Amino acid sequence: MIRPTTPDDKEALLALVSATGLFQTNQLEEVGEMLADYFGDNGDSDHFWITDDDDGPVGVAYCETEPMTDQTWNLQLIAIRPDRQRQGRGATLVHDVEKTLMARGGRMLLVETSGLVSFKRVRAFYRTCGYDKEARIRDFYAAGDDKIVYRKVLTALGK
């Protein structure tokens, strides 16, 4: 069941994100800060967290608007617990994010990820979900670690 993330989810979600092995320690700390900020801001509508719950969190997604744009959003984080990957849960979570954004008038969703070989499966996942590679920024995260940006126009989903 996909549902809004609650403050009670915080520790389980941090463990889930850590278990993926895709995030460094400083990034995990930032995820914790993002969750704390989200629950402290009284429901600001320019961002949201959703959780895939199956007797506890098994997936999570975080999305926020791109400042100074007309309804462009960024999927800043998506993670599925490793033992629940390759079951369609990630695609379902992305689809729910897209439906939520379209209901809010979202026009476009951007996703960024690493160009490292270890992220090859992540990049394939976004392509499978219908995202087109839009850009590569060389050495963005670190020397030799490019940023790859994927894009999907949301208004085209219903056509």
| 131-152 tens-digit pLDDT | 999 999 999 999 999 999 999 9
pLDDT at residue 43, as a whole number? 57
pLDDT at residue 159, as a whole number? 44
pLDDT at residue 42, as a whole number? 58
Task: Please provide the size of the chain in residues.
Answer: 159
Tokens for 120, please give them: 């090859």
Its domain, for residue 87, covers 2-156
Spatial separation of the C-alpha atoms in residues 73 and 63, rounded to whole Å: 7
Say how many C-beta atoms besides its own lie within 10 A of residue 6's C-beta. Answer: 13
Structural domain count of the chain: 1
Closest CA to 121 of 82, 95, 151: 82
Q: Which residue type, as a one-letter code, is found at position 120?
A: K
In this structure, what CATH number is given to the domain that contains residue 75? 3.40.630.30
Side-chain-side CA neighbours of 157 within 13 Å: the count stands at 23
| 6-52 tens-digit pLDDT | 999 999 999 999 998 888 888 899 999 888 888 887 556 788 999 99
Backbone φ and ψ for 117, nearest 5 degrees, come out as -55, -35
Partners of 74 in the beta sheet? 64, 110
